[in-house]
Every structure is written in C-alpha cells, then in structure tokens.
C-alpha cells in the first residue's frame, strides 16, 4: 500500500495527557465525556504501576471510539485508519511485531494485571520510535470493521461503512502473542468501553 506520509503520536494517549486536557479544555471535554473525572479515576485504578507518576504515564482506558475521536479533535489530531496503524506497527518490511518477527514478552505489556507506563518497554519501539504499538491497550482506529478485498494486494479495498470499528495492538490482559501482531485486528462497537481499550 502506498502512503503519502502521515504523522503518528509517539505513544498512546495517557492518563496524564487526559488530566491536562481536562484542566485546559474542561468545558469542551465534558461535552464529549460528561463523567470525565470518574473515567480518569477508573483508568488510573487499572494501571498496575506503583507510583502516581507512572500511573499518569499509563494509557487512558475505558473510552469509546466516539470519545477517542472527540479527544483527538480537541488536540488537533484524528484517529489513524487501520492501514495507517498497521504501517506504523509493521514498518516498511511487513514485520510481525514493531520490534521484529519474533515475539518477545519482555518488549511488551502482555498477560499482566493492568496497564503500564507507555515508556516501560522502550526496547519494543518500532524502527521509527513509536511505542506500545503492541500490547498495553487495544487501540481504536477510525476504520469500519468488515472483510477486506485483497483482489489487488497493492490496493486493498477497505469497508467504507459498518456498525463496528477496528481495534489493533493487543493489550495487557491478552495471553496470546498472536493478538499483538501488527496485522491482527478485532472489532468493537464504537460506543463501547473496556478496561483494555484506549
């Protein structure tokens, strides 16, 4: 797939970033998420870290795709498409994981008892320096879920509509390495929230 180029955040959106956004744009954020304080508290509780500072560095969870897209807009950004997300994780060589083709549990937050700091596994970064593309949390994409038409492999046709959205990356509670592969995808309703999704 040919990309014209795009920028992607170095890490998933964190509890600390959410806290700052709440302070700076409280009214706008409360339009997207009326229970913002309670949701932040729940997200901090899901962090397995010991210190408050590291909990703030953990990814924000329990947000729907609708809320994630709204937060991205407040930041002047957007959610990536699933192809953009896969390109970031698989790099240009189609690797299985951001760090290579062989799974290494020491490079991801995987089969754990909660989220970890997005900086906990710097050795698991992609060649371009993006962190947590595998593990820690399933990440929302803007793409509808459905069957991809691969009749022309260099120009796959993605679904343009649908009730579900694509999630990528795997999470802290996953115990199957294949779930964390760059090309692996699952679906979730865009208004649903879960403690492994952010």
pLDDT in tens, 48-90: 999 999 999 999 999 999 999 999 999 999 999 999 999 999 9
Question: Which residue in the block uniquely carries the two structure tokens 């964390």?
Answer: 180
pLDDT at 142 over 90: yes
Residue 149 pLDDT grade (very low, low, confident, very high; cuts 50, 70, 90) = confident
pLDDT in tens, 8-30: 999 999 999 999 999 999 999 99
Distance CA 33, CA 1 (A): 35
Global pTM reads: 0.93
Q: Are the CB atoms for 168 and 86 separated by under 8 Å?
A: yes
pLDDT at 152 over 90: no
């Amino acid at each position: 797939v040919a990309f014209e180029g795009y920028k992607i955040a170095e890490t998933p959106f964190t509890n600390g970033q959410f806290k700052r956004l709440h302070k700076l744009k409280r009214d706008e954020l409360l339009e997207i998420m009326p229970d913002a304080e309670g949701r932040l508290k729940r997200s901090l509780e899901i962090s397995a870290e010991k210190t408050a500072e590291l909990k703030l560095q953990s990814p924000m969870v329990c947000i729907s795709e609708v809320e994630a897209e709204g937060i991205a807009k407040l930041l002047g950004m957007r959610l990536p498409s699933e192809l953009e997300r896969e390109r970031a994780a698989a790099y240009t060589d189609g690797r299985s994981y951001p760090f290579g083709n062989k799974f290494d549990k020491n490079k991801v937050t995987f089969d754990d008892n909660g989220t970890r700091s997005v900086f906990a596994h710097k050795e698991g970064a992609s060649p371009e320096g993006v962190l947590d593309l595998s593990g820690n949390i399933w990440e929302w994409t803007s793409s509808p879920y459905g069957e991809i038409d691969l009749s022309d492999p260099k120009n796959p046709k993605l679904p343009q509509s649908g009730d579900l959205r694509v999630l990528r990356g795997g999470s802290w509670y996953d115990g199957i390495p294949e779930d964390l592969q760059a090309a692996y995808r699952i679906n979730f309703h865009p208004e649903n929230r879960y403690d492994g999704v952010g």
